[in-house]
Amino acid sequence: MKVTVELDCTPEEARRLMGLPDVGQLNDTYVSELSKFLKGASSVEQLQSFTKIIAPMGEAGIKMFSSFLSGAMGAGQPGEKPAPSDKKD
């Protein structure tokens, strides 16, 4: 049996429906502080040090995060086998 449910809602309504916290104010503060920092950066070295802070593993970390998101989005797709677990009981 296959059941399909379609919801027509705004992102705000979806956030509330799923019980996720409202991080709008936090996001606004983060973007504001990031903008201040980037406007004050006067050299490439400052930008490189900032990049190391937000992405300590560099390109490898970004690829790992991207693969995590891809895996999470594909989880539960029909016909897809779950990934083998390395965990031993």
Q: Write down the domain spans for the chain.
A: 10-40, 42-71
Task: State in Å, rounded, how far the first CA of the chain is from the last one.
Answer: 33
Angle at 65 between CA 57 and CA 10, to 5 degrees: 140
To the nearest whole number, what is the mean pLDDT of the chain?
Answer: 77
Q: Is the pLDDT of residue 37 over 90?
A: no
pTM here? Answer: 0.42
Query: Band of the pLDDT at 49, cuts 50, 70, 90?
Result: confident
pLDDT at 80: 53
- Count of alpha carbons within 13 Å of 28, Cβ hemisphere only? 4
Rounded to an integer, what distance in angstroms lies between the CA atom of residue 50 and that of residue 61?
15
Q: Is the pLDDT of residue 71 over 60?
A: yes
